[in-house]
């Protein structure tokens, strides 16, 4: 398991803010059960064999694993009134909830699916990892392989399964992480503000006001990356144009019509839990995820790779 150097800790603390940095590190350290300082247990590691046995006993394992390894490329257009012509057709490749240490067979499948796709930037809205207590760096090693496939700048935010200690490693492989930060992307005389917040659900270490600053009002369009969709009310109140998020997995195991009786609760309304949604003038898309959580199985809820296109109409 990797750690951070003192210099890396200082940089990340400075970017995120001391209070939220300390809160996240404390919660990361206390969510794992330590016995005598030697044994580190992750509840999900204990549940995985139980859930796997249950799926195999039910006869659904083979079908579910096949769907898990069959990502669907979806195309979505966000209509943005007044969008400058320089940003017409600007396309964001959106991955979420990769959970790459769950089943390493997923990495080459996603890499193959990305071949030939055209986009201006790529984003990952959190949960690179499946196991919240990192016993090894499997997810990061798999992400390093995947990172070589992207043909445009790659940005990301952390999810509730990730660690701040992952940030230096991710950034060395070319993933620009946004820790309550934003970047301005210029296209001729037009500007797009890409904003990223830390996990607003489990850790509650997001700071949308800090991330937005005052400059987003001078941008022609603002896109917010958040791991979970519960931020939608805050985003709408601050005039964010578009929110891209994940976390819910779309239910992951759904009824034949794609409906799931219950999706994770994260403070968000029911209508923001899956797919395209709107809150006032703010639009958003909650990804069903590109990987899976707990066990490498999906039923009636295929993993998705999204291409979001901006248009004035």
- Residue range 280-302, pLDDT digits in tens: 999 999 999 999 988 899 999 99
Per-residue model confidence (pLDDT) at position 313:
82
Q: What is the pLDDT of residue 286?
A: 96
| 1 in a structural domain | no
18 located within any domain: yes
The predicted-structure confidence for 83-110, as pLDDT tens digits, reads as follows 999 999 999 999 999 999 999 999 999 9
167 lies in which domain range? 6-311
Q: Please count the structural domains in the chain.
A: 1
Rounded average pLDDT over 64-91: 96
Number of H helices, E strands in the chain: 9, 14
Does a structural domain hold residue 83?
yes
| pLDDT at position 39 | 42
List the beta bridge partners of residue 186: 191
| 37 — pLDDT class (breaks 50, 70, 90) | very low
pLDDT at residue 256, as a whole number:
84
Q: Tell me: the pLDDT tens digits for 152-190?
A: 999 999 999 999 999 999 999 999 999 999 999 999 999
Asked if 273 contacts 248 with a C-beta cutoff of 8 angstroms, the reply is: yes
CA 290: distance to chain centroid? 9
CATH number of residue 271's parent domain: 3.60.21.10
Q: Does any domain span residue 180?
A: yes
Res 47: pLDDT:
62
Helix (H) or strand (E) holding 67: helix 61-68
Answer yes or no: is 241 within a domain. yes
Q: What angle do CA 107, 126, 307 make, to 5 degrees?
A: 70
Q: Is residue 114 part of a domain?
A: yes
Residue 124 within any structural domain of the chain: yes
């Amino acid at each position: 398991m990797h750690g951070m150097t003192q210099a890396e800790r200082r940089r990340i603390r400075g970017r995120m803010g001391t209070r939220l940095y300390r809160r996240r590190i404390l919660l990361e350290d206390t969510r794992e059960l330590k016995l005598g300082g030697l044994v580190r247990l992750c509840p999900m590691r204990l549940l995985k064999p139980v859930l796997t046995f249950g799926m195999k006993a039910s006869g659904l394992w083979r079908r579910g694993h096949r769907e898990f390894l069959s990502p669907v490329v979806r195309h979505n257009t966000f209509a943005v009134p007044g969008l400058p012509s320089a940003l017409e057709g600007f396309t964001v490749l959106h991955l979420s909830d990769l959970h790459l240490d769950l089943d390493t067979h997923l990495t080459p499948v996603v890499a193959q699916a990305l071949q030939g796709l055209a986009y201006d930037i790529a984003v990952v809205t959190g949960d690179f990892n499946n196991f919240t207590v990192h016993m090894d760096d499997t997810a990061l090693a798999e992400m390093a392989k995947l990172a070589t496939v992207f043909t445009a700048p790659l940005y990301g935010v952390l999810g509730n399964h990730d660690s701040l200690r992952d940030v230096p490693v991710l950034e060395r492989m070319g993933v620009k992480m946004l820790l309550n930060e934003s970047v301005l992307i210029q296209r001729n005389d037009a500007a797009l503000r890409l904003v990223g917040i830390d996990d607003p659900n489990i850790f509650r270490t997001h700071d949308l006001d800090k991330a937005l600053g005052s400059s987003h009002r001078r941008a022609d369009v603002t896109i917010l990356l958040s791991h979970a969709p519960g931020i939608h009310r805050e985003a709408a109140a601050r005039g964010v144009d578009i929110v891209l998020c994940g976390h819910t997995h779309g239910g992951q195991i759904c009824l034949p019509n794609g409906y799931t009786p219950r999706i994770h609760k994260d403070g968000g309304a029911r209508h923001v839990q899956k797919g395209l949604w709107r809150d006032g003038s703010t639009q958003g898309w909650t990804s069903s995820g590109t990987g899976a959580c707990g066990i490498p199985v999906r039923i009636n809820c295929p993993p998705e790779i999204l291409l979001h296109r901006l248009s004035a109409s």
